[in-house]
Structure 1
């Protein structure tokens, strides 16, 4: 486990409190403020996943509470990050008030156009950036919850040999998959071409979409409107990413998701079993197993 963070006051006349060591909360609009804390938490999730699946050490503790306690600790860090996002979003109102009260009523009446173009532009830019950071951070947050509670390998996910689909972890992961799709809608609203952070977003979009693909694959024609809407949002997000940063895995997964969506909505023009077999063949390219390649093709 990482060392506890150490707090110290600056010696340069500043009233801020600086923190050393890895943080787990969103602290600002820069990539170091909102993305680095998530990567710190992701490191813990990766360590936990590797330990659980260790060929002999993982089996030794699998029946005990060791890994469960570790998972609970990571979940608490994710909750802390979630609270920090809400605080960041709530700060928009304060920022708006600060900007709109910069000039008194006399100055505003004397030069309303200047106030509108100057203050209005600054307000819009700041709010838009904040909304984008909140939308992306919310999606990443739910994706990390999926990784913490779910299975990473797409083929193992579809096979379901260990009956994970009937576990409480599956229920938790499914809730976050739906919430992640809702966050995707906000991302596409504020950043239609998904150009805010294209080099980082794609892999999380892919990993966060596997579970919704599983749900669509299992429910097929019995899927409800919320599942159909979530699948459509995922397809649109992948299409936006392909336009901005054209990657092979996103093009492939877009086809897989489109096929599943067509099956869910009853618009599949080919044999269902053949379509499922073709989807599995594509997903097998990105297996997270000892002989898999992940995205390193």
Structure 2
């Protein structure tokens, strides 16, 4: 793929120790970028950095803590120089009936998925604007435009991310700073374990990473994966509510039913939603 070259660009990837973040780091490093992966599990981040090709370095990062985020950015700058690209990838998800959702899970999703993105943008975008260049890419979700049953709060955070970045993008118009939002369907990662992919095939982390690389080379604001998700949203908005409900109930998975009476997500949720890296800690 041609377009803006990635070789030598300084990129930070949040939540980069595993899953989608790890694959984003891999593909960017293979393209010649210098990649800083930040993750609250510093040991896992270091192991990933050691395993990946090219120039990849690991740093401790808690996206819910401003001072942690400042230290992360300062460390990257001290190592390589000012950041060219921020990839907001860190995210967590609790799945189940809205009435059963623990308040701690609600708070954690808001803190990581929404405020974590806002925090990163506020810390990075002003310097990019001052330099007249930069790119902020956020891995959101198809839930930015759809809201599967069982993922109501998660969808709210992703709707919020899209709304926030829509406004930020307009404020940055003409500054030389690009803003992109990647909105994948269900991806085969630990975050989505036990859930249903609905009418679309389950994606791989490499699919999302390829979309990130693509928008860095040829900037676009919104990218849905697969593109049929965007078509579904566009078409259903033209339908009366009763028909829209019927179509979406067939196309969008009911995650309450998918995870009902199953314990497959317990270990992930206990760790990801506790605010620690200890998998034994209860949510």
TM-score (normalised: structure 2): 0.35
Larger strand proportion, structure 1 or 2?
2
Q: Say which structure, 1 or 2, has more relative contact order (CA 8 Å, 6+ apart).
A: 2
Q: Which has the larger radius of gyration?
A: 1
TM-score (normalised: structure 1): 0.34
Larger helix proportion, structure 1 or 2?
1
